[in-house]
Amino acid sequence: MISKKMTTALNAQVTAELYSSYLYVSMSAWLQAEGHQGAAHWMSLQAREEIYHVIKFYNFILDRGGQIRLGPIEAPPAKWKSALEVFEQAHAHEQKVTALIDSLMTLAKSESDHASEIFLQWFVTEQTEEEANTLATAQKYKLAAGQGAGLFMIDQELAARTLTVLVKDALTGVPPTAV
């Protein structure tokens, strides 16, 4: 049985992951409106990936006999100065999420909640990937320094993203169309 404290903390993470998705939808919309079609595509897949994170936490809470308590989700920002700023903020956001996962892990360890610890390990690894992806893209935009050809190349690269690996990794077996 999962503790009340851990259930509350995991429910807060469900809300945090929903906010991540909300933020990335907003970023995707801004990128699209500004003509960064590839980046908008990348960000909309990132928004969908966050929904998979929600589902993982949601299923884990229910599987352990906990109850789902959804909290309010604040409105994300809607405007950025550049695609570089979007990815810098996405990177900063992922660093914050990493800190949230770390404190969940600390709580699991303090409660000797081994099931939660093993479950959270996936997210510890995932956060390294999330930070690395957003950082690498921000660095590319920095190198392009707002120049047309560079921006076009980055956009083409981001346009190629797929969610294949994620679908294979999803614990739920729910196909993306059913999310």
Task: Specify the residue, 63 or 129, whose C-beta has the smaller distance to Fe ion.
Answer: 129
Give 158's contacts (C-beta < 8 A, 6+ positions apart).
Answer: 36, 38, 39, 41, 42, 137
The minimum distance between CB 149 and Fe ion, in angstroms, equals 29
Q: Is 87 exposed, middle or buried (0-12, 13-18, 19+ CB in 10 A)?
A: buried
Segment near Fe ion (CB under 5 A); pick from 18-26, 111-119, 154-162, 168-176: 18-26
Segment near Fe ion (CB under 5 A); pick from 9-17, 31-39, 64-72, 167-175: 9-17
Window 20-39: residues binding Fe ion (CB under 5 A): 20
What is the C-alpha end-to-end distance of the chain, expressed in Å? 28
In angstroms, rounded to a whole number, what is the distance separating the alpha carbons of residues 136 and 74?
27
Task: Specify the residue, 20 or 137, whose C-beta has the smaller distance to Fe ion.
Answer: 20
> Rg for the chain (alpha carbons), in Å?
17
Is residue 91 involved in binding Fe ion (CB under 5 A)?
Answer: no
The minimum distance between CB 130 and Fe ion, in angstroms, equals 5
CB-CB contact of 23 with 142 (8 Å): no
Is residue 53 involved in binding Fe ion (CB under 5 A)?
Answer: yes
Number of residues located near Fe ion, criterion CB under 5 A: 5
Segment near Fe ion (CB under 5 A); pick from 24-32, 35-43, 54-62, 129-137: 129-137
Residues 127, 131, 137, 140, CA torsion sign: negative
The residues of the shown chain that bind Fe ion, judged by CB under 5 A, are 17, 20, 50, 53, 129
